[in-house]
Amino acid sequence: MPALELLQRQITTAQELQSVVKTMKVLAAASIHQYEQAVESLAEYTRTIEMGLQIVLREGNYIALSSTATHSKNPLHGVIVFGSDRGMCGQFNEQIAQYTVTQIHHLSLSTTEPKVLAVGARVISSLEAAGVAIAENLMMPTSIAGITSMVQELLLHIEMWQFQLQISQIFLFYNKPHSNTTYESHTLQLLPIDEQWLQNLQQQRWLGRTLPTLTMDWSQLFAALIKQYLFISVYRALAESLASENASRLVSMQAAEQNITEQLAQLNAQFQHERQTHITEEILEIASGFEALTDIEQ
């Protein structure tokens, strides 16, 4: 009986764990959908900002606003790495950490010791183990509602890097989803703004019947639109990283569920075997006792 009781407790524990894993799978899948919707909702807003820039660039020369530090021979670099604060997401943090190390060397950022800001505590150990010094770290938002405030905080850090530390090149490293279960690491050069992209907007044909005009200072409007572009870029990176994190977590939970299902099958089979053995032993004991009584009576 003690063996049967132990097996029964193990089966109950496995069933409870299976229920938790199923719940986490549902939550991960729902989160992926929410973050993907958040990214999709940026598309129209992004188009609006691009249209605004298209008009503004027709009226002025954005090259004049470029910082001399941007074109210096040895610019200072800033790196923002998006990881996670929660576990059970497989190799999510290890993958982005390894990618960051590779990109730092590939982009020759290591020559100037870039300022590295990690968003998500669990990516820090992997980065430090690879020799990347973390200057600052922030917590990753846990929901869509927290993304906006985190973007604003990151933009404040970026502004401080620019004006206090004279950092002119800033890169974002994050995981970008491909589907509900796959993702890949991605690089975005946030600053300086891609001049080729601005030139393409400047030369693009306006599709409307009437061409809008400006009623405010050109440089102020241009700066405001660029700030909105930066906001969108950081917001998208955060949302895509969170979607990828939950995609990795979904895969981990699917693997865990499969393992638990197999373990439960083994435990149930063992339980049935032990139970049948116990029943057989009891029957044999009864039969032996009956035979003994019969022999005594005879």
Q: Domain spans of the chain?
A: 2-23+253-297, 42-247
**For residue 119, what is the DSSP state?**
E
The pTM assigned to this predicted structure is 0.84
For the chain, list residues with pLDDT below 70.
Answer: 1-2, 60-74, 109-111, 287, 289-298
CATH code that applies to domain 2-23+253-297: 1.10.287
Q: Which amino acid, residue 181?
A: T
Dump the DSSP string for 10-33. Answer: HHHHHHHHHHHHHHHHHHHHHHHH
**Residue-level pLDDT at 64:** 46
Looking at 123-217, list the stretches that DSSP marks H as alpha helix, in order from N- to C-terminal side: 124-129, 147-164, 195-203
CB 198 within 8 A of CB 62: yes
Topology agreement, domain 2-23+253-297 and domain 42-247 = no
Choosing among 3.40.47.10, 3.20.20.70, 3.40.1380.10, 3.40.50.300, the CATH entry for 42-247 is 3.40.1380.10
- Per DSSP (E only), the strands in the chain are 76-82, 115-119, 136-138, 167-177, 183-191
CB 85 within 8 A of CB 140: yes
